[in-house]
Amino acid sequence: MTAVADDPTTTSSITTSPGTPPLDVAALLDARVPGRPLAQPFYTSPEIFELDLAAVFGRSWIFVANEAEIREPGDFVTVEIGAWSVIVVRDDDEQVRAWHNVCRHRGARVLTDRVGSVGNIVCGYHKWTYGTDGALLHAGQQPRDFDRSCLGLKPVHVRSVAGLIHICLADEPPADFEDVATRLEPYLLPHRLSQAKVAATEDIVENGNWKLVMENNRECYHCDGHPELSCSLFPTYGYDEADVPPLLRPAFDRYLAADADLQRVCGELGLPFARLEELDERPSGFRAQREPLDGAGESFTPDGRAVCRKRLGDLPEARLGRLSMHHQPNTWLHVLSDHAVTFTALPLSADRTLVRTTWLVHEDAVEGEDYDLDALTDTWRQTNLQDATFVARAQLGVSSPAYEPGPYTLSEYQVEKFCTWYLDRLREQVAR
């Protein structure tokens, strides 16, 4: 289901006034002050939004779905990225494939459902029929010398990273993604996400620019605004040891003890533990780390106990904290012993972003027996709505003539890394 965040701070669509001169994007890039948020046009300008689609979403590896969503041959999902529509399908050989959702006859949209299952891919306009391998199988009323072989669906680069499906719309995708995947897969593979099943999916439209959505995710400075989530996170989350206030020192000592215990358990199970980020000095756009959870330390629940009785990957230990991971420009996820939650953010307009949340459980877990769906999803359903409110308020604020970028706090260093990564992509595009 798709919902628009029910918040009084919703924004209307932004339009450019007739006669407005084009933005000098290069000057905006040069004027950016490190350690502070972006200038107003980066969040409000339809012109920069179109540049984002070309420079970022048109050239990066984008997380779009889980293999669990297309478990059987013929299962598909469609994803919309700006004007692009892409079919992600499991073919008859059980390989994950991706195709532009454009008929090779007269360009009609081929599949209109977001998810489904097909034997063949049939365009509803003139019934041109394609195999799940993209090949054109049938096109009626053609001459005898008609050559179907050159009219298959146009391919899109696709790569599954331990069950997380990424696509790249560029003719030549970034070469460093293989290095990123090689580093991330050891963290993910023990949880067997490719063999999991989807317990629930929820779409929410946030009334804010996609970068505000991502910046909000890249820091926990605001996490006291998430009552459900703060039950699982230690109250000292985001503090460096030297900066912990005296009143929070007992909680920080509890965190250190839990962290040491988690490192011990991970060592016994052979699970990677250390924080992983950066391929080189330039922000590489990914991060992974296992961290302890408060309470029982098993899951995102009020008491920290697991909400699903079957563990992902059949791991013998429930107290595994959370494996948190993000990859620029549009995804973050959390993997726990009993379930995983993946998030993908897709830009809709300069001030609207679709956030899709998917909950994964063990492939044999049965709703009502092994887990309660409301208990499984409550923490992040509530957290998503709270984040949507924060993002909408931020969009209203950055749209004001009074907006001036203020300084980041120490705990917002990942926001700075995101902005640096993003601006590098725009500089590359402007220099083309």
pLDDT band at 240 (very low <50, low <70, confident <90, very high): confident
Q: How is residue 32 annotated by DSSP?
A: P
Q: Determine the pLDDT at residue 18.
A: 52
Model pLDDT for residues 157-206, shown as the tens digit of each residue: 999 999 999 999 999 999 889 989 999 999 999 999 999 999 999 999 99
225 — phi, psi (to 5°)?
-90, 10
| Nearest alpha carbon to residue 339 among 369, 313, 302 | 313
pTM score, whole prediction: 0.92
Q: Determine the pLDDT at residue 8.
A: 38
Query: Would you say residue 12 has pLDDT above 70?
Result: no
Q: Give pairs for 260-263: CB < 8 Å, separation 24+.
A: 261/292, 261/319, 262/290, 262/291, 262/292, 262/297, 262/319, 262/320, 262/321
Q: Which residue has the higher pLDDT, 171 or 249?
A: 171
Domains of the chain: residue spans and CATH: 1-9+25-59+177-432 (3.90.380.10), 61-173 (2.102.10.10)
Say how far apart CA 75 and CA 96 lie, in whole Å.
10
Query: Would you say residue 288 has pLDDT above 60?
Result: yes
Model pLDDT for residues 48-85, shown as the tens digit of each residue: 999 999 999 999 999 999 999 999 999 999 999 999 99
Model pLDDT for residues 308-362, shown as the tens digit of each residue: 999 999 899 999 999 999 999 999 999 999 999 999 999 999 999 999 999 999 9
Q: Determine the pLDDT at residue 432.
A: 82
Model pLDDT for residues 387-407, shown as the tens digit of each residue: 999 999 999 999 999 999 999
Tokens, residue 406 = 């203020």
Query: Would you say residue 151 has pLDDT above 50?
Result: yes
Please state which of the ranges 209-223, 232-246, 371-385 shows the lowest mean pLDDT: 232-246
**Segment holding 380, helix H or strand E:** helix 373-398
Q: Determine the pLDDT at residue 3.
A: 55
